[in-house]
Structure 1
Amino acid sequence: MAITSAGICAAADQLQGFVGYNTKTGQHIVRFSEDSFGMDIAEDSITPTSEFVWEAADAAELMTLKRERLRMLVDLHIDERLAISEPLHVYLRRADLPEISAVRLLQRSA
């Protein structure tokens, strides 16, 4: 089975959990409930993990899937809980290719 950019983007959108920035330690931490962050986490920094891995590019609607943010998640060694799948591991291994940039749109469920 070939892994495509679309498959990698879909895998990124399936990530579980939330990321918050701990101002005391200067690090991002992961939790699986928005309510489980401590007082050292600014509420406006709490982001779904599936959004945390994307960064707005120069163009307003263009976003880049950041390897450094994915690497931080992989380094936690909780791949199954975060739902880090093989397409994301392949994306991390292929540092010889540029990061994926894509237009991301909100899709409404029926």
Structure 2
Amino acid sequence: MSITSADICNAADALLGFVGFNRKLGKYIVRFSEDAFGMDVPDDSITPASEFVWVARDDQVMTLSRECLQILRDQNVNDRLNLGETLQLYLRRTDLPEIQAQRRRL
């Protein structure tokens, strides 16, 4: 079975949970409810995981960031995040450039 860029983008858009930057720990953490973050996570840093992995390059083009996907992978909750084999393959294929796509933040 071949995996296309569209498959990878769809898998990224299907990510679950929320990501927030914990000031006390100095790292990003994942929760599965916006209300589950403590006071050490500012509200303006809480982002749906499906948006966290996309980095704006200009007004229309966004890049699917391997670095941001790796932050999610390091949380070791792949099943809950819906970080499946399609995105795992994208992380492993560092020989290919990151995917760039025209999209709007949700």
Same fold (TM over 0.5): yes
Cα root mean square deviation, aligned: 1.2
Structure 1 residue runs of 5 or longer lacking an equivalent are none
Indicate the SS of the match to 2:69: helix
Which amino acid in the other structure matches residue 80 of structure 2? R
Residue 62 in structure 1 maps to residue 30 in structure 2: no
Is contact 2:51–2:105 with CA below 8 Å preserved after alignment?
Answer: no
Residues in 2 aligned to 1:106 and 1:47: alpha-carbon distance in whole angstroms: 11
For 1:35, the equivalent position in structure 2 comes to: 35
Indicate the SS of the match to 2:55: strand
Is contact 2:63–2:100 with CA below 8 Å preserved after alignment?
Answer: yes
Summarize the alignment of residues 2-41 of structure 1 with structure 2, pairs less than 5 Å apart: 2-41=2-41
- TM-score normalised per structure 1: 0.92
Question: Once the 2 structures are TM-superposed, how far is the Cα of residue 106 of structure 1 from its aligned partner?
Answer: 6.6
Give aligned-pair identity as a percent: 59
* Displacement over 4 Å in runs of 4+: none
Deviation larger for 60-69 or 72-81 = 72-81
Structure 2 residue runs of 5 or longer lacking an equivalent are none
Is contact 2:17–2:31 with CA below 8 Å preserved after alignment?
Answer: yes
Indicate the SS of the match to 1:24: coil
Deviations 1:51-90 (A, max 9, x none): 0000001x21100000011011112221100001111011
Residues in 2 aligned to 1:62 and 1:106: alpha-carbon distance in whole angstroms: 11
Question: Once the 2 structures are TM-superposed, how far is the Cα of residue 105 of structure 1 from its aligned partner?
Answer: 3.9
Residues in 2 aligned to 1:92 and 1:106: alpha-carbon distance in whole angstroms: 22
For 2:47, the equivalent position in structure 1 comes to: 47
Residues in 2 aligned to 1:29 and 1:106: alpha-carbon distance in whole angstroms: 21
Cα distance change of structure 1 residues 40 and 85 upon mapping to structure 2, 3 Å threshold: same
